Amino acid sequence: MSKIAFVFPGQGSQVVGMGQELANKHPEVMNFFNKADETLKGKLSSLIFEGPQEELTKTVNAQPALLTTSIAVLSLFQKSGIKAEYVAGHSLGEYTALVAAGALSFEEGVYAVRKRGEFMEKAVPNGEGTMAAVLGLDREKLADVTKTVDESGFPVSLANLNCPGQIVISGSVKGVELAGEKAKEAGAKRVIPLEVSGPFHSSLMKPASSELRAVLDSLDMKNAEIPVVANVTADLMNDATEIKEKLIEQLYSPVLWEDSVEKMIELGVDTFIEIGPGKVLSGLIKKVNRTVKTYSVSDEESCLAVIDALKEEKL
């Protein structure tokens, strides 16, 4: 019997038209897009379905758009009766995982990530912070590099520990540039600047944490019904108070994705189902452990294919 984890993508997976086919065919799916519009008092749904992409990609739009689409897809997929033993999400995707686990209502989740996007955009003026992917250097060496640069007065730190040999660094433009150069000197194969609007998961995001705390305090956070693997610890959380603290820490702490995947495998998970647009997490999971099964569900075709594949496994 498979042990299943549902995982939810983070910012960067957004694409114009995501979820539209399902919404057109299934009123219960469209209902989530309508609820998002009502909650945010705007037409998020038309931005998701029609674009433009550059508007959708803005942090303040991408975050609620991805949560809405992933939960809408999940609602259809769950009709098959397939359940998860654990849930996790990458950065923004952690909020989606919390909605999936019953810790947050859908409306509260959408509202929280819209505010989170606003606070993240506001924390650091545009152009002052950035991120870069460092390939082919282990985390200890890269942590030493970022520590040296950070202590010399140019903020930079590890932001996303995605899989072996792929770590994203985040901080001031100069800090990321210097750390990138030093990473290459230390043996990194490549350093790729990322198209992002800010230095996410770095100390520069700390100014946003008090505002986020006020928003999370206003929500009716509940204990999670399914254990959630936390980004900041790669450990299980289901207590409402702990969840809130971890979400605040997550703003300025690294996302331990590789460790989170390892944790779920350690707990017996052998099947990961990525729910929402793209296949980024499936790719990362395969780089962490090639023996586990990964599936991606984003539309009707993939939804039916995954349901069939899992039913066949049970036969």
Q: Is 26 an active-site residue?
A: no
* CATH number of the domain located at residue range(s) 4-123+205-314 in this protein: 3.40.366.10
Listed residue (147, 155, 114, 112) closest to 131, CA to CA: 155
* Concatenated DSSP letters of 80-117: GT---SEEEESTTHHHHHHHHTTSS-HHHHHHHHHHHH
Given the residues 201, 202, 253, 260, select the one marked as catalytic. 201
- In the β-sheet with 190-193, what is the strand arrangement from edge to edge? 156-163, 166-172, 129-135, 190-193
Instruction: Write out the residue limits of the CATH 3.30.70.250 domain(s) in the chain.
Output: 129-196
* pLDDT, position 197: 79
* pLDDT, position 162: 98
Give pLDDT tens digits for 78-115.
Answer: 999 999 999 999 999 999 999 999 999 999 999 999 99
* pLDDT, position 315: 54
Regarding beta strands 166-172 and 129-135, do their DSSP bridges make them parallel or antiparallel, or are they unpaired?
Answer: antiparallel
Q: Report the C-alpha gap between 92 and 99 in whole angstroms.
A: 12
* pLDDT, position 312: 83
Q: Is 201 an active-site residue?
A: yes
Looking at residue 21, its amino acid is E
Q: Report the C-alpha gap between 184 and 169 in whole angstroms.
A: 13
The number of helix segments (H) and strand segments (E) in the chain equals 14, 10
Regarding beta strands 166-172 and 156-163, do their DSSP bridges make them parallel or antiparallel, or are they unpaired?
Answer: antiparallel
- Which residues of the chain are modeled with pLDDT < 70? 314-315
Given the residues 13, 91, 170, 253, select the one marked as catalytic. 91
Homologous superfamily (CATH) for 129-196: Malonyl-CoA ACP transacylase, ACP-binding (3.30.70.250)
Q: Under a CB-based contact definition with an 8 Å cutoff, are residues 84 and 273 in contact?
A: yes
Give pLDDT tens digits for 121-159.
Answer: 899 988 899 999 999 999 999 999 999 999 999 999 999
Instruction: Write out the residue limits of the CATH 3.40.366.10 domain(s) in the chain.
Output: 4-123+205-314
* pLDDT, position 148: 98
